[in-house]
Structure 1
Amino acid sequence: MEIIKMGNLRVIRKSIFLGIKRLFDICVGIVGTCICFLPAALVIFIIYKIKGYSGSIFFKQERLGLNGKKFKIIKFRSMVENAEEVLKSNKELYQKYINNGYKLLPGEDPRLTSIGAFIRRTSIDELPQFINILKGDMSFIGPRPIIEEEIQEYNDKDREKFLSVKPGATGYWQISGRSNVSYPERCNVELYYVDNMSAVLDFKILFMSFVKVFMRSGAC
């Protein structure tokens, strides 16, 4: 009986935590959209028009969300329009991209625009994700949403665990080194959050995320 009561208590506590977390996400989404996203979108739109870039200032890519549900993550476009085709056309570089944890250094990435490296380095490209947060596709804090190919880095048991929580705009991986932490170590970092998620850990991640962005640590 005591075990059942403890189990019920954990469920109640988790439900309360997730409810507060969603309320926090809505508040952050509204404030972030008005104060950060919209002004940045206007400035980037003007810059892209001046430089003569065609197409949208936004980049959308399919990612895996809660329970494996796919959604379109939104970023400011830091790359040329046909970025994926450009990368895949160079088989050697594409293989290096995969081997390097699905990333390339700005100096060797042919996909970046002239201001792409800057908005990546300063994390400005992530600001449109306030929209994803408001829509409920993402939380402000959680494991980083991955492309479908990356889920192969997790074993069957860990895949289910990783996808059991809503992905975040920032998370434990970001404050642990971000682009400096590659697979398979990244799996352990992301799963640590899933196993230990709490209000205290979220507050720590929130604080350290601002520090990392200010220091431009691990961004690429």
Structure 2
Amino acid sequence: MLRFLDIVFSFIGLVCGAPVLLVIYVIGLFDTGSPVFKQERVGRHKNPFILVKFRTMSVDTASVASHLASTASITKMGGFLRKTKLDELPQLWNVLKGDMSLVGPRPNLFNQLELIQEREALGVYSARPGITGLAQINDIDMSIPKLLAETDAKMIRSLNLKSYFEYILKTLVGQGSGDRVIK
């Protein structure tokens, strides 16, 4: 049932959001010259997939987890996109394709070994990664791997139709601050 909802909502989001996606893309051309950011992430069953987002950091920023990147790397447009979470909109394509779900553990990089170990031990990779989830609405990010993995595992065990909509609604109204970055 949740996969069906993912397909329906991501399709509607991409179709209805197309004008917003286009405007952000065009502004992004002026901001960084390369508005779309693609990065290999760890997916369900630890299979790799290419995550698509709007770029929020300068093009030459190292490929590291957000909490390891410097705020100096974030562009003015990127700051706005992160604050409003509009940088996540292209991930609706990942949801539609089946790489991700709207709700699930945020996909990590393959070089985040401590987080991979913690998540693997708790069976977190049995679920599709998501755009939002319990950790995100509670300001738990990848800088605290053990707590994040425990929160993800708790969410996966208890995920139902009610909590699926709850996490999405809380994200849409701005609960949670997103990934931290170094000052």
Looking at structure 1, the residues matched to 132 and 92 of structure 2 have their Cα atoms a distance apart, in angstroms, of 11
Name the count of aligned residue pairs.
Answer: 179
1:197 is aligned, of 159, 172, 176, to: 159
Unaligned runs of 5+ in 2: none
Residue 68 (1) aligns with residue 30 (2): no
Q: Which structure carries more helix by proportion?
A: 1
What secondary structure, in the 3-state scheme, does the structure 2 residue paired with 1:184 have?
A: helix
> What stretches of structure 1 move > 3 A for 4+ residues in a row?
48-51, 154-160, 178-181
What secondary structure, in the 3-state scheme, does the structure 2 residue paired with 1:83 have?
Answer: coil
Quote the RMSD (CA, aligned, Å): 2.5
Cα distance, 1:149 vs structure 2: 2.4
Question: TM-score with structure 2 length normalisation?
Answer: 0.85
After alignment, is 116-125 or 152-161 more displaced?
A: 152-161
Of the two, which has the highest radius of gyration? 1
Question: What secondary structure is seen at the aligned counterpart in 2 of 1:115?
Answer: helix
User: Percent identity between the aligned chains?
Assistant: 29
Does the alignment pair 1:27 with 2:8? Answer: yes
User: TM-score w.r.t. structure 1 length?
Assistant: 0.72
- Structure-1 separation of matches of 2:119 and 2:15: 40
- The CA distance in 1 between the partners of 2:7 and 2:120, in whole Å, is 29
Cα offset for 1:209?
A: 2.0
Matched residues in 1 for 2:152 and 2:160: separation?
A: 14
Deviation at 1:154, TM superposition (A): 4.9
Helix, strand or coil: the match of 2:51? strand
1:187 aligned onto 2:149: yes
Structure 1 unmatched runs, 5+:
1-19, 88-96
Structure 2 equivalent of residue 145 of structure 1: 107
Whole-angstrom CA distance in 1 between matches of 2:52 and 2:5: 20
Structure 1 residues 15-74: Cα deviation after superposition (integer angstroms, max 9, x where no partner): xxxxx11110110111110122x22222123323445x42x3100111111100100110
